[in-house]
Structure 1
Amino acid sequence: MKRAFMPSLFKNKRPRTVNNSSAGASGRKQLNEGGTSGDEDLSDLPSDTKAALAYLRSLFDIRHFEGRVPPILLKHQLYSIIQNKTQVDREVDQLRDKKEIRLFRYGNSKDVDEFCIVFSDDYLSHVRKMANQQGISDLIDRFVPEILEKMNNITFTCQMLCDVHGFKDKEITMLVNAGMLTVRDVGSWWLSIPGAGIFIKNFSKGRQSVLRAIKKSKYREILQKELEERKLQGVKKLSMMYHIHDIIGAELVTKIKTTSGIILRLDE
C-alpha cells in the first residue's frame, strides 16, 4: 500500500503574549494586564476547551470546501485562546475519552506531534457520506461500530484490525484508498480524515499568505484588527481569524497588547 504523505505544517509551542514591555522598533506603549483594546481581548474568548473548540468550529465554513471535509481544528489553536497549556491538554484528553472529539496526527516525522481535532459527530457524518459516494457503505457499517465507536485510537495495528476484528487485507486497502487510514509503518496505520488533503493544501496556502503580509509590514508587525480586515488572495477557504489563531497558537508570531490594540509580530 502506498504511503500517504502529509506535510509537516505545525509548530507545537506554547503561545506568548507580551505585556508591560517595549513594543520593539515601533516603541509603542503597552497596556497593563487589565487593559482593553479595540481588538479581540482574551476576556472575550472561551475559558474552557470544549467552548473554545466550538468557537473555532464556527470559524470553519464547510461550504467553502463543498462539503468535502468536516470542520477541522488544530490543537495548537486552542493555546491561542486558553493560556494554560496544561488545562488544554487535560481537557482535550477528557473530551477524547468521552468520545466527543477525535484526534488525528499528521506529519512525516515521528518526532513531530501535529494534531488535528474533529468533533465525533462531524467525523462520523462525513465518513458515512464518503462511504456512500465511494460505494463502501457495507465496510464502513462494520468499521464504525467495531472500531470508531468503541475506540479513540489514533493508530491501529494489523493485529488489532485483522486478528481481533477480522478485517481482511483487501478491506484495509479499501479503507486506505478511501482516506480512512494512512500508512504509518509496516503493519500499522494512522486514522485519517477522508479528503483532508484539500484542507491541508488550502491551510498551508493561507498560513503562508498571512505570514507574508506580516513580513511585508513595517517592523514585521501588524495590528490584529488591520490584519482581520485584509482581503488576502490565499485566505479564501478558511477565515482570517482561523489563521490568526493558528499563527498565535503555533508561536509563529508574538501577541503584544498595546494602547493601539493587539499587535502581531513575526518571530522569524
Structure 2
Amino acid sequence: MDTTPKKRKEGEPLRDLSNINLASPKSKLLKVYRPLTSPVKPKPPTSIAEEHPDDFSIEGVAHLQRQLNYFCQVIKDAKPHLNKENLKIDEKPNKPPPFVVVDMAGLREHAGTFTCIPPVILRSQLYNHVGDPTRVDRDLDEMKKNGSVRVFRFLSDKEDYGIVNIEDYKNQIRMKRDQLNKLNPEKNYDLLDTFIDRVLPLAKGSSVTQEELRQIFSPEDKMIPDDYITLLMDAGVLLTKEHDTYWIAVPNVGPFLKCLMQGRKELIRMINSKRWKELLVKDLMRKKIRYTVIDADTHVEDLLGRQQIESLDTTAGRLLRVKGGERKR
C-alpha cells in the first residue's frame, strides 16, 4: 500500500480540520512535546512554600510558631530595614516559617531515634531569605549582645550555625534537668539552673573556656570541680572543643544534625540522578527525601543559603540545579 502523502493540487481547497478530535488516540495530528526548560529572567530565591502553600502545615508545632513570631518581632524592632517584607514571611497560618518545619508523619515514624526537635533556625535559611549574609551576621551579633538569641556552632560542618530564642533554650535546659534528675536522682543536675542564671548571661559567644567557668562557678577557688564539667556535658549543654575550651550546645541536637546532613546528601543525589542534572520543584514535592524527617522545603532553603544549589524560574516551573555541576545535553 502506497503511504506516500499526496500533494495538494493547485486550486484544491484545504481540508476542514474543525471536526477532528485532536485528543483522540487515533488522531494522527496529536504530538507530544517535551516542555522547554530554558531559563527566563531569574528572580531572587524564595521559599518553595510560596508556590505550594497547601503542601505544608505547622499544626502541632506550637513552639516553632512562637519562635517565628518572636524572631520577626525582634528583627523588626532592632532593624527597621530588615522586616517581614524582606524575609518574605506571610502571616497566613497555612504557610511555614523560614526555619525548620517538622514532618510530623516522619517524626512519628522515627520516634525511637528522633524524639526531641530543638526550636532552631538555620543561619543558611536566613541567608536565603534575606539575600544579604553580611547584614544577617551584623544583626545577629546585635541580638546576641542584647541577650535575645544565642547562636550555636554545629559540629556537623564548619559553616553550620543555628539560632535559638534564649527563652526556648532555657526552657529546654530545664526540661533536660528534670529528665536527668528522674533518671539519676543520686546526681545533682540542679547545677543547670546555675548554668542558666550565671553562665549564659556572661558567656555570650559560641564557646566558653575552663577559666571563664571557674570564675563563674567558684571565683575564689583555683580550679572548677571536674564534676561540674561532667554534669554539664551529660546534659548536652557543653561539648569539648579543645583541652580547656568547650562549645555551648543545644541538648538533643545530635539526631537533628544527622537528619540535616543525610537530607542534604540525598537531595543533591536526587538532583544529580536526573538526566539533565535538574529537578523541578513540583516534582520534588511529590517525592519523599529518604533518611530524614525534616521536610524538603527546609532542605532546599538550607542548600540555597549554603550556595550548594541554585534556583531558576523556567517555563515549566521553579527549577533546582546543583551549583558547578556539568549538564550534558
The structural deviation recorded for 1:62 is: 8.0
The structural deviation recorded for 1:250 is: 1.1
Residues of 2 paired with 1:58 and 1:39: CA distance? 13
Residues of 1 paired with 2:203 and 2:192: CA distance? 15
Which residues in structure 2 correspond to 1:256-267 (within 5 Å)? Answer: 256-267=312-323
> Who is 1:195 aligned against?
252
Letter in 1 for 2:125: Q
Scaled by the length of structure 2, the TM-score of the pair is: 0.63
Q: What is the aligned residue count?
A: 234
Distance 1:144 1:254, change over 3 A: same
The structural deviation recorded for 1:187 is: 1.0
- 1:102 pairs, out of 146, 150, 153, with 150
Structure 2: which 5+ runs fail to align? 1-35, 52-82, 91-95, 182-187, 219-223
> Who is 1:174 aligned against?
231
Letter in 1 for 2:164: V
> Who is 1:210 aligned against?
267
The structural deviation recorded for 1:61 is: 6.0
Residues of 1 paired with 2:299 and 2:135: CA distance? 22
Letter in 2 for 1:217: K
Q: Secondary structure at the match of 1:156?
A: strand
Asked which structure has the greater CA Rg, the reply is 2
Q: Secondary structure at the match of 1:102?
A: strand
> Who is 2:207 aligned against?
155
Residues of 2 paired with 1:62 and 1:220: CA distance? 30
Highest RCO, 1 vs 2 (Cα 8 Å, sep ≥ 6) = 1
- Note if 1:30 corresponds to 2:72: no
Letter in 1 for 2:140: V
The structural deviation recorded for 1:127 is: 0.9
Letter in 1 for 2:169: Y
Residues of 2 paired with 1:173 and 1:62: CA distance? 34
Q: Secondary structure at the match of 2:247?
A: strand
> Who is 2:177 aligned against?
131
RMSD: 3.1
State percent identity of aligned pairs: 26
Residues of 2 paired with 1:48 and 1:175: CA distance? 39
Residues of 1 paired with 2:217 and 2:101: CA distance? 38
Q: Secondary structure at the match of 1:254?
A: strand
- Note if 1:74 corresponds to 2:122: yes
- Note if 1:185 corresponds to 2:227: no
Structure 1: which 5+ runs fail to align? 1-25
- 2:137 pairs, out of 75, 82, 89, with 89
The structural deviation recorded for 1:249 is: 0.9
2:280 and 2:320 in contact (8 A); partners too: yes
The structural deviation recorded for 1:39 is: 7.4
- 1:230 pairs, out of 275, 287, 301, with 287
The worse-fitting range, judged by mean Cα deviation, of 181-190 and 216-225 is 216-225
